[in-house]
Amino acid sequence: MEPYKEIIHCKPQKFLRMTGITQKNFSDLYDKIEQHIENEKKLNPLKRRGLKSSRVSLQDCILLALYYIRHYPTFQVLGNVFGIQESYCHKVYSRYVRIIANVEKLPSRLDLIDNKRETLIVDVSEQPIERPVKHQKQYYSGKKKRHTIKAQIIACATTGKVLSVVCAKGKKHDFSVFTYIERVSFFKKK
């Protein structure tokens, strides 16, 4: 099963709802990741050895990572959608999320503080998750009355650029998520 070949022919609105990005942005991201992987192989020739996995194409790996970030299903469900094992699904997700983070460069928190001040938009949203097996109390949000993960986004109002994304456990207060950025950058300056 190749979900990318199925979803690429659908309407742009459906593709955007499924992945969170447009088809053009997806193809740009694909090109960047492909270039990153080629550069990585040139820098480290040992990564080219061994059998090559043909279970999942590069487009499906990127789609898997974006689908997980957008919808947050369990890896068992995600594995069923992509026709692969749960453990391999986790391996693919972990690898490609790191690659996406390397390819899509966001400014560091220190850059946010050092630059001149502009009008910033700060928003925190909570995404419901399955009840964790361990440390359930830390993820339980009294506000939503369920287990959640908080995601804070800081964006520039004039340019519309996303400057920072911070994730926290559901129990943490919105303001403490916001002040976490300043505490981390304060200690790194010294």
The residue out of 43, 73, 103 marking a domain boundary is: 103
Instruction: Give me the residue label for tokens 């938009």.
Output: 121
CA 37, 38, 41, 47 dihedral sign is positive
**132-145: burial string, b at 16+ Cβ within 10 Å, e else:** eeeeeeebbbeeee
Residue 92 and residue 28 share a domain:
yes
- 17-44 pLDDT tens trace: 888 888 898 889 999 999 998 888 888 8
Banded model confidence at residue 49, pLDDT cuts 50, 70, 90? low
Query: Could you say which of 69, 103, 137 is where a domain stops?
Result: 103
- The reported pTM is 0.56
Instruction: Tell which wins on pLDDT, 182 or 124.
Output: 124
- Quote the pLDDT of residue 31: 93
Assess contact for 135 and 149: CB atoms under 8 A: no
Q: Which residue has the higher pLDDT, 185 or 95?
A: 95
Which tens digits make up the pLDDT trace of 95-141?
888 888 888 876 666 666 666 666 777 878 888 888 888 888 888 88
Which tokens sit at 48?
């080219």
Are 8 and 96 found together in one domain?
Answer: yes
Instruction: For residues 49 and 168, give the distance between their C-alpha atoms in angstroms, rounded to a whole number.
Output: 38
Q: What is the band of 190 on the pLDDT scale with cuts at 50, 70, 90?
A: very low
Q: Give the count of beta carbons closer than 10 Å to the beta carbon of residue 13.
A: 9
Max Cα–Cα distance, the chain, nearest Å: 52
At 9 the pLDDT is 75
In 3D space, the residue among 171, 2, 173 whose CA is nearest the CA of residue 83 turns out to be 2
Q: Which residue shows structure tokens 């520039």?
A: 156
The strand pairing partners of 140, in sequence order, are 147
Per-residue model confidence (pLDDT) at position 16: 84
Give the mean pLDDT of 163-177. Answer: 79
Do 82 and 125 have their domain in common?
Answer: no
Which residues neighbour 34 within 8 Å (Cβ) at sequence distance 6 or greater? 58
> So what's the pLDDT on residue 2?
63
Q: State the pLDDT at residue 120.
A: 74
* 94 & 114 share domain: no
pLDDT at 180: 65
CA distance 160 to 29: 19
User: Which domain covers residue 48, as residue numbers?
Assistant: 3-103
Q: How many domains does the chain have?
A: 2
Domain termination site, one of 103, 130, 158: 103
Q: Are residues 92 and 114 in the same domain?
A: no
